[in-house]
Amino acid sequence: MMVRTGLVSAIATTLLLVIVTASTVHAQGNCQNLPNDSQLKALLVAAQAGSPASPGDAGGIFHGKKMWGAIVNRDGALCAVAVSTADPTDVWPGSQAIAKHKAYTANAFSVDELALSTARLYTFVQPGHSLFGLNQSNPFDPKFLAPPKESSPGGGRNQIVGGIITFGGGVPLYLGTQIIGGLGVSGDTACADHEIAKKARDLAALNPPGGAHVDDISYTAAPLAAPQFTHPGCLNTFRDGVAVPTNEPPATGY
């Protein structure tokens, strides 16, 4: 009887080890080929100086130097979170949630054949356009927030945080011709957020098949704007290190 009990116990222990090992491998596999926290932080810092396909200043209020970044996998589960500063509390706390939701949005509305940055969704969600109301389809859930410290537990790690953001700062991530997740950046103007996200993706060599600019931001008042994908300018707007002749519209009508 004791032998049988010991055998059952040994089998149970073995099965538990197999389950734990499988779960660990599965969790690692879900974020495979995506930057981890420390790599994401390094990318956010390096992006301030530009990238091969997008050199120069990001513009904005802080020149892209105070950023939250988040990465999700293809399932939409949160894989990495980081800030670009030594002191996480020196970045807007509200940008933590926005970065996570931008990452989710960029991944959620992109496929292998079509990369859609969050900036390219802006026009479609305005009143009178075909996706008006999209922003209300998946509201923020505050349970996925964490204290600003990067080492804080929780905050949606390995969970699908959801949320929809339809202004600049979120880009899909690709390995070759296949989408593998999304990157969200927040902490400056929407335009600077997009620039840092675009540069970070380029530095990580995770661009879409069409290259770093295939889903680039397109400004309403700028030359060569794509009518279906336009996005308003921001304060101190730059694109690929060059000042763009557009700015935050003046306050009118209220």
**What are 56's two structure tokens?**
């120069």
- For 234, the token pair is 């921001």
pLDDT in tens, 161-198: 999 999 999 999 999 999 999 999 999 999 999 999 99
Q: CA torsion angle for 14, 20, 25, 31 (degrees, to 10)?
A: 180
How many C-beta neighbours within 10 Å does residue 232 have?
18
pLDDT in tens, 55-70: 999 999 999 999 999 9
Q: pTM of the full predicted structure? A: 0.85
What string of pLDDT tens digits covers the 254 residues of the chain? Answer: 444 444 334 433 333 333 333 333 334 449 999 999 999 999 999 999 999 999 999 999 999 999 999 999 999 999 999 999 999 999 999 999 999 999 999 999 999 999 999 999 999 999 998 999 898 888 878 888 899 887 676 789 999 999 999 999 999 999 999 999 999 999 999 999 999 999 999 999 999 999 999 999 998 766 656 677 889 999 999 999 999 887 777 777 76
Which residues is 181 bridged to in the sheet? 73, 173
